Amino acid sequence: MKLYIIGILAKILGIIIPLLLGVAFLVSAECKVMAFTQRRKGFNVVGLFGLLQPLADGLKLMIKEPIPSSSANSFISIMALVITFMLSLVAWAVIPFDYGMVLSDSNVGIPHLFATSSLGVYGIIMVGRVSNLKHVSSGVLRFAAQMVLYEVSIGPIIITVLIRVGSRNFSEIVMAQKQIWFGIPLFPVSIMFFIFRPAETNRAPSDPPEAEAESVAGYNVEYFLMGFAPPSSGEYANMILMSSLCTLLFLGGWLPILDLPIFQGISGSIRFSIKVPFLLFIYIWVCAAFSRYRYDQLMRLGWKVFSPPPLAWVVFVSGIPVAFDWPP
């Protein structure tokens, strides 16, 4: 029993530690990519090519003196941080990095992700509930409405994949793509899923809840020093999660691009680790290349433009097996 518990703890640490390191260096990569798009150098002082800058920033946050907010309930504020950060880690329990390389190879992988992403809104709502600042309350309301909208839109996209596979297990979804990646037959919804990723993770150009111009960072305005680290880290962890989800659903997960010996010699986890950073690079490039939407534009785009096509695609994909007697 003790060995079983130790094994589970080792698997959990094997996920959390690389994830936290990935979050730290994703911040550095974002700054470097945005600097290159603007013909700047970005981080280049601390460590080789500025690679140790995230560690220096974390140390700076830890050694500075914290100043608690006088207008907020400190306990609820801390609990909101814990809820937000923990839920960003719990979602990784069902994400496979290779065949059999997963903490919980459950048949409820998709519902698990839906549940954790939905519960994440409550942590942000707690922040707005205990704060007396109008900018925080405005940012929280924007965040909640935006999450509801784009989760409603992402749901039908994932349902199209489930209809094709007939399983909610991520490993089975990946293995169903041996012949062809779902990004090809389901190309329209895969592009919509890619577009929804910034809105789901509250990243530019879909980040009105944190807009500096009118909301002065929104729900983050009261968090500073180490209090700012959990929500910020959770946001970057969700970026990695959404890129991993896109890889599993539409890019074949750990499967190779072509059935060639050169690709077969690479382990599945390495192939998975190549696809996810590629999607993260496009993520960051979009943030640097496009300006922020106004909040009314973002909501109108979600409800009137992006919501109907996924629903129509669900009807289309579910109607093909019925019309041609073709089991999904």
The reply to whether 174 and 274 lie within a common domain is: yes
Q: Which of 254, 230, 247 is nearest to 97 (CA)?
A: 254
Mean pLDDT of the chain: 79
SS3 call for 101: strand
20 and 131 co-located in one domain: no
Q: What is the mean pLDDT of residues 268-290?
A: 86
pLDDT at 91: 85
How much is the pLDDT for 271? 86
Query: Residue 225 has what pLDDT?
Result: 62
Q: Are 36 and 76 within one domain?
A: no
* 244 pLDDT above the threshold of 80: yes
Together in a domain, 129 and 77: yes
Residues 4 and 15 in one domain: yes
CA 82 to chain centroid, in Å, comes to 18
Query: Which one of 41, 64, 87 terminates a domain?
Result: 64
Q: Do 216 and 104 fall into the same domain?
A: yes
Is the domain of 265 the same as that of 278? yes
Q: How many domains does the chain have?
A: 2
pLDDT at 38: 82
Within this chain, do residues 42 and 107 fall inside the same structural domain, yes or no? no
181 and 127: one domain? yes
Q: Are 239 and 201 in contact (CB under 8 A)?
A: yes
Domain extent at residue 303:
67-324
Contact in structure between 222 and 133 (CB atoms under 8 Å): yes
Angle, alpha carbons 72-292-212 (nearest 5°): 30
What is the pLDDT averaged over residues 296-304?
A: 83
Pair 7, 109 in one domain = no
Per-residue confidence band for 259, with pLDDT thresholds at 50, 70 and 90: low
pLDDT value at 328 more than 60:
no
Instruction: Check pLDDT > 60 for residue 325.
Output: no
Instruction: Look at residues 31, 49, 64 and tell me which one is the last residue of a structural domain.
Output: 64
With a cut of 70, say whether residue 223 has pLDDT above it: no
